[in-house]
Amino acid sequence: MQKNKFFVPETELAEQNEYKKKVKNIVKSRFQQETPKAFVHTYGCQGNVADSEHIKGQLIEMGYSMTEELQSADIIIYNTCAIREHAEDRVFGNVGALKTLKKKNPNLVIGLCGCMMQQDHIAEKIKNSYPYVNLVFGTHALHKLPELLFKVFKTKKRVFSIEECDGVIAEGMPNERDSGENAWLPIMYGCDNFCSYCVVPYVRGRERSREADVVLKEAEALIKEGYKKITLLGQNVNSYGKSLENGINFSELVRRLDKIEGDYTFDFMTSHPKDCTKELIDVLASSEHFCGHLHLPVQSGNNRVLKEMNRKYTREHYLDLVNYAKEKIPQVDITTDIIVGFPGETYEEFLDTVSLVKEVKYGSMFTFIYSKRKGTKAADFPDEITKEEKTKWFMELLKVQEEITKEQ
Ligand code: SAH
Ligand code: SF4
Ligand code: F3S
């Protein structure tokens, strides 16, 4: 099964298990009878939440128990998000606030990981301006947490692990789930789409899929354990399977998932309109367990803007998909993401988004003002509309959506 070039070899995972034991011993001698506490906070998307569940699982195996109380933690890990400037600012603010905690407790271990840390300029900033941060690791080093923590304890030096690589898949990591009856189930990682505004392909590596039988076995176990909702995760679930030898496609994966018996529903995100097929909608329409929610981010309703965004679909293609879904699944709840104020977008072009929103009548909408991301293509596009103006458009769109929600 380990033919896939992205898989972390079993020998490497076994090595990490040895580090887990070593850390457990260090922690035991440090804390004696007490169980040390770990605080893990997650910013960003469900993919990050799923990663944090692995972080928590590993920490528990190394002798920690989880706490919701920052003040009482012996180790604090922030799993960060880089999608918009606002997300990054929040992280910097919260990391700044840890300084006083560290002063009170010099043995406190502070770790930062996730998408923000995968960017060189951010890791550099942490290195230079936040000397009390002990550990920084990127998105491809998640499974190496035991080794990294061991280094922190053993060397008493700051540890940075930001690897440039296409990405990995580490199967078999422990998982501490804490989303109640919902279980997040990643089916793929990374993204190859390079939408011109988006940082994800740079911080999450190349698109890669988990083996279908591994995913389906995990789903079966979760359903047996009593989880009522399984959400399949990936940046573009519709291109599931492409990195696998003899892989099945997403529609087939969903068809097989739906065959698992039990009292549950399934959801998935995110579905990219360029790859979302009518075949998939047909499969959903005839599935017993589909929850009825279809998240289909449109980003813009204007074809010129969509082209500049490198989304690779048109307004007409999108509306055709939506209408097909509504026809085949009458109760479907369609939701979306929208970016307002993409560089070069005019008010008239923005109004095309407004008219699309009125036409589709979304169940709900996640609307964002464009945020310039270092290293992306759109960062070099001229952007003349002021933040104030963009905020006005944003408010206008929210109002339209409010009206629609009221009518529903
Ligand atoms: N893979 C998903 C999106 C993941 S990011 C997809 O293609 O649909 C979640 C949302 O954040 C995006 O849909 C987009 O609306 C928003 N987003 C991404 N980059 C952004 C940026 N630079 N500024 C503002 N919003 C952004
Ligand atoms: Fe970003 Fe586009 Fe990939 Fe979504 S599909 S993660 S918006 S690059
Ligand atoms: Fe943020 Fe990374 Fe997710 S940038 S939205 S946490 S993939």
Q: What is the C-alpha to C-alpha distance for residues 88 and 91, in angstroms, rounded to an integer?
A: 5
Residue pLDDT, tens place only, 267-305? 999 999 999 999 999 999 999 999 999 999 999 999 999
User: Would residue 245 count as lying in a domain?
Assistant: yes
**Does ligand 1 have an atom closer than 6 angstroms to the CB of 297?**
yes
Instruction: Please give all residues whose beta carbon lies within 6 A of any atom in ligand 3, as ranges.
Output: 44-45, 47-48, 81-83, 114-115, 199-200, 203-204
Domain boundary among 290, 320, 343: 290
Residues 146 and 217 in one domain: no
Residues whose CB falls within 8 Å of the CB of residue 264, separated by 6 or more in sequence, listed in order: 223, 227, 228, 229, 230, 289
Q: What is the C-alpha to C-alpha distance for residues 330 and 333, in angstroms, rounded to an integer?
A: 9
Which atom of ligand 2 is nearest the CA belonging to 272?
A: 5
Residues 282 and 299 in one domain: no
Instruction: Please answer whether residues 23 and 188 qualify as being in contact, where contact means their C-beta atoms are separated by less than 8 angstroms.
Output: no
**How many domains does one find in the chain?**
3
Read off the tokens for 347: 């008010």
Average pLDDT, the chain: 96
| DSSP result, 154-195 | HH-S-EEE---SS--B-TT------STTEEEEE-EE------
**Does ligand 1 have an atom closer than 6 angstroms to the CB of 381?**
no
Q: 235 alpha carbon to ligand 1 midpoint, in Å?
A: 10
Peptide bond into 270 cis (omega under 30): yes
**For residue 370, what is the domain's CATH number?**
3.30.750.200
User: Would residue 142 count as lying in a domain?
Assistant: yes
Amino acid identity for residue 171 in this structure? E
Domain boundary among 290, 306, 321: 290
Domain containing 190 equals: 179-290
User: Would residue 166 count as lying in a domain?
Assistant: no
Residues 283 and 307 in one domain: no
Per-residue pLDDT for 4 more than 90? no
> Whole-prediction pTM value?
0.97
User: Would residue 171 count as lying in a domain?
Assistant: no
pLDDT the model gives residue 3: 57
Q: Quickly state the pLDDT bin for 97 (edges 50, 70, 90).
A: very high
**For residue 59, what is the domain's CATH number?**
3.40.50.12160
Coarse DSSP helix, strand, coil percentages of the chain, rounded to the nearest 5 percent: 45, 15, 40
pLDDT the model gives residue 1: 46
Amino acid identity for residue 210 in this structure? R
Which atom of ligand 3 is nearest the CA belonging to 79?
A: 6
Amino acid identity for residue 290 in this structure? F
Residues 97 and 148 in one domain: yes
pLDDT the model gives residue 207: 96
For a ligand 1 pocket test, name from 339, 357, 377 the mutation site with the most ligand atoms within 8 angstroms of its C-beta: 339
Instruction: Give the ligand at the shortest distance from the Cα of 203.
Output: 3
Residues 393 and 363 in one domain: yes
Residue pLDDT, tens place only, 229-266? 999 999 999 999 998 988 899 999 999 999 999 999 99
Instruction: Please give all residues whose beta carbon lies within 6 A of any atom in ligand 2, as ranges.
Output: 191, 193-195, 198, 200-201, 235-236, 272
Q: Quickly state the pLDDT bin for 179 (edges 50, 70, 90).
A: confident
Residues 92 and 104 in one domain: yes
pLDDT the model gives residue 408: 82
Instruction: Please answer whether residues 242 and 207 qualify as being in contact, where contact means their C-beta atoms are separated by less than 8 angstroms.
Output: yes
Residues 300, 306, 310, CA angle at the centre, nearest 5°? 130
Residues 214 and 141 in one domain: no
Residue 384 CB burial class (10 angstroms; 0-12, 13-18, ≥19): exposed
